[in-house]
Amino acid sequence: MILLVFFDWNASGKELKRWNNQFKDACEEHGMTFKGLYGPMGQKFNFTWIIESDSVDKFIETMKSISRPPAMTHYSTEVLIPQVLDE
């Protein structure tokens, strides 16, 4: 599955880079593939992380393992589940 994490950021780019690297490391430690940080054009949020995982539980454990910085004022997660189409 793919997880999209939309979030707003209220600090410097340097702080965002440090937090992005910390989150990336946490994803890898919990067995998820961090696909990168993107700037969404059609969403009201500043940034989006794209993560690939075989379990939502891994994402929940990752978020529990790190302290969300105050500069990340809020976030929203979208879970995209692969679809198998019958022929």
| 30 phi, psi to nearest 5 deg | -100, 15
- 2-77 is classed CATH 3.30.70.100: yes
β-strand pairing of 2-7 with 47-52: antiparallel
């696909």: which residue's tokens? 35
Q: How far is CA 40 from CA 8, 20, 51, in A?
A: 11, 16, 15
**Going residue by residue through the chain (87 aa), what tens digit of pLDDT does each one get?**
999 999 999 999 999 999 999 999 999 999 999 999 999 787 788 999 999 999 999 999 999 999 989 999 999 999 999 999 988
57 CB-side CA count, 13 A: 2
